[in-house]
Amino acid sequence: MKTPHGDITWGDGKNFVLFAGPDIIEDEGMVMETGKEIQRVTKALGIPWILKCSFDKANRQSASSFRGPGVNSALKSLEKIKGELNCALLTDVHETIQVKETAEVADVLQIPAFLSRQTDLLVETAKTGKIIHIKKGQFLAPWDMKAIAAKAVNAGNDKILLCERGTTFGYNRLINDMTGLVEMRRLGFPVVMDCTHSTQLPGATGESSGGRGDMVWPLGRAAMAVGVDGIFLETHPNPEKALCDGPTSLRLRDLEGVLTNLKKIFTTHF
């Protein structure tokens, strides 16, 4: 993948890619502040980075939960931020009608976990020719992703990344089976570990999801030791005040220490 700062590759064992940023665009200033700090840290550590930020959060438990400033406004803001930071961008799509407009701004299009089996969405996204980051549904086994990926491949796009983000375990709990990373890699596509959403406690508060942000680092360490091509995480300057997924977000000031440790594991084992 070509970016303003050179090519980014994955799946070749030469490096791991970081997909990181705030969960959603709360306002331009916060996303810009966060992006600048991630950029500083990743440049210092030599880790390829792609900004992650959602323009809309359609999969909310409560209708009163914050979804963003509106699709059109949010996409314009993300385009501006991407330009000022001179970086690549990943964002997610929820409906086929959003795909074309989003593809004009984003470099990587993400299929949310809850929508990973939505055929029309996958096919429409594949037709853009963009890289597709498919999150494994919490209700799917790792090997189920073979058929999911095939939908995009059959639509003419094999630029696919498969993402692990936990599996439903009873009520209000997700667990991670690290052997699933190996299983998905055997399907022939690069694999990414979502370290933040994997700590989620779905619906734990009754109105929204809770989370264990303190478990982001341990999950990242475990995934890196097993072997992954990328790490996905959400980070926020003040998770307690985040408007979405604050409990699962990594505190921005902790990012450098976490990434330093993950890189050490990667270079030691690979």
Q: Is residue 8 part of a domain?
A: no
The residue count of the chain comes to 270
Enter the DSSP assignment of 137. Answer: P
Q: Which of 22-31, 77-86, 112-121, 227-236 is predicted with the least confidence, judged by mean pLDDT?
A: 22-31
Number of domains in the chain: 1
Residue 207 has pLDDT above 80, yes or no: no
pLDDT for 57: 67
**pLDDT at residue number 135:** 97
**240: pLDDT confidence band, cut at 50, 70 and 90?**
confident
- Examine residue 1 and state whether it is found in any structural domain, yes or no: no
Average pLDDT over residues 2-31: 86
d(CA 103, CA 213): 31
pLDDT score at 262: 96
pLDDT in tens, 134-168: 999 999 999 999 999 999 999 999 999 999 999 99
* pLDDT, tens only, 84-130: 999 999 999 999 999 999 999 999 999 999 999 999 999 999 999 99
Residue 7 lies in a domain: no
pLDDT band at 171 (very low <50, low <70, confident <90, very high): confident
203 within some domain: yes
Q: Is 3 within the bounds of a domain?
A: no
CATH classification at residue 248: 3.20.20.70
In a domain, 181, yes or no: yes
- Asked if pLDDT for residue 67 goes beyond 90, the answer is no
- d(Cα 10, Cα 188) in Å, to the nearest integer? 12
pLDDT at 68: 60
Q: What is the DSSP string of 98-121?
A: HHHHHHTT-SEEEE-GGGTT-HHH
Query: In this structure, are strands 174-175 and 210-211 parallel, antiparallel, or unpaired?
Result: unpaired
For residue 83, give its domain range: 15-269
**Residue 248 one-letter amino acid:** T
| Residue 9 within any structural domain of the chain | no
Tell me if 205 is assigned to some domain.
yes
Mean pLDDT taken over the chain: 90
Closest C-alpha among 150, 94, 90, 159 to residue 128: 159
